[in-house]
Amino acid sequence: MNARGPRIRGHHLICLQFFHGEGYAPAYVRNLFDVIRRLTEEGGRIVTGPDDVCAACPSLVDGRCSREPEGEEEIRILDSLALELLGLKAGDDFDYGEVSVWVPRILDRWHMLACDGCEWEANCRPLISLNTRFPIEQ
């Protein structure tokens, strides 16, 4: 695995699985497609805090998510939950193909604990339904 791949925070390991071309701005969407391409080709490394997805986000201000008053703290909680469910930790290198196989195994718990109230839930819901229809044995 190539440690030069994208730096990715915990919740993006799961949420990127459901990205299908929507985002805040065209530059952000282009960045997401590029990050996914690079993850697929190179693998990645888990980081705490803003990552290569966040780098093009218009809500990233002074290294923090500014979408909501407690945005960065709430995202860090989601990051921790995602890493716990996936059995990973900050600093780990990962193969994106393997993560794509692991996500359906934890998706019911992730959806129950993390998706309620997320602004992207309506976009992800049809894809989540497809992934949870045939759960994979753990």
* pLDDT confidence tier of residue 23, bands split at 50, 70 and 90: low
What angle (nearest 5°) sits at the alpha carbon of residue 14, between those of residues 111 and 7?
A: 150
What is the pTM assigned to this prediction?
A: 0.84
Sequence-separated (6 or more) residues with CB below 8 Å from residue 94: 1, 8, 13, 43, 44, 45, 46, 88
Establish if 138 belongs to a structural domain. Answer: no
Residues 6+ apart with CB under 8 A from 38: 5, 6, 44, 52
Evaluate whether residue 2 is within a structural domain.
Answer: no
Q: Is residue 123 part of a domain?
A: yes
- H-helix or E-strand containing 10? helix 10-15
Tell whether 114 is covered by a domain: yes
Q: What is the pLDDT of residues 25-58, one digit of tens each?
A: 888 889 999 999 999 999 999 999 999 998 888 7
Domain span holding position 87 = 7-132
Q: How many CB atoms lie within 10 A of CB 28?
A: 18
Q: What is the pLDDT of residues 50-61, one digit of tens each?
A: 999 988 887 778
Q: Give the total number of structural domains in the chain.
A: 1
